[in-house]
Structure 1
Amino acid sequence: MEDIQEQWRKGYLDGWAEQGVLPTSEPSIPPLPSIPSGVSDPDSWAYGEGKSRGMIDRLKSQAGIA
């Protein structure tokens, strides 16, 4: 099992990459949010949440919102 922070980072970068060509430098990874109670697989949760956040942040970046 990998470190939950690493899963968050991988998910974020994967989500970011899905929304366009990877930039020359990696985006700044936001801090890992609190894991909701009742989550049975924190690593999977962190990856999925990171991926969603990465996709949203990349879209905002491309739109000039962020």
Structure 2
Amino acid sequence: MKNLYDVMQLLKRYGTIIYTADFQADLALMEDEVRELYRMQFITAKEYTTALMILRQKRSEGK
């Protein structure tokens, strides 16, 4: 996973597509979904940390 598109594809693999027309809200929802996937042990710890890092980086760029 290298960018936001990869995170979106990870979520899509599990049936989650997020688009609310509010980019910051989308990033927050994606972060919640990634946490839930990790909690339910669908994704590895490496996928979890990489996805969170990418999402947090995007959130800080948008401020």
TM-score interval, smaller chain: 0.3 to 0.5
Normalization by structure 1: what TM-score? 0.33
Larger radius of gyration: 1
Q: Which has the higher contact order (CA 8 A, sep 6+)?
A: 1
Q: Which has the higher helix share?
A: 2
Normalization by structure 2: what TM-score? 0.34
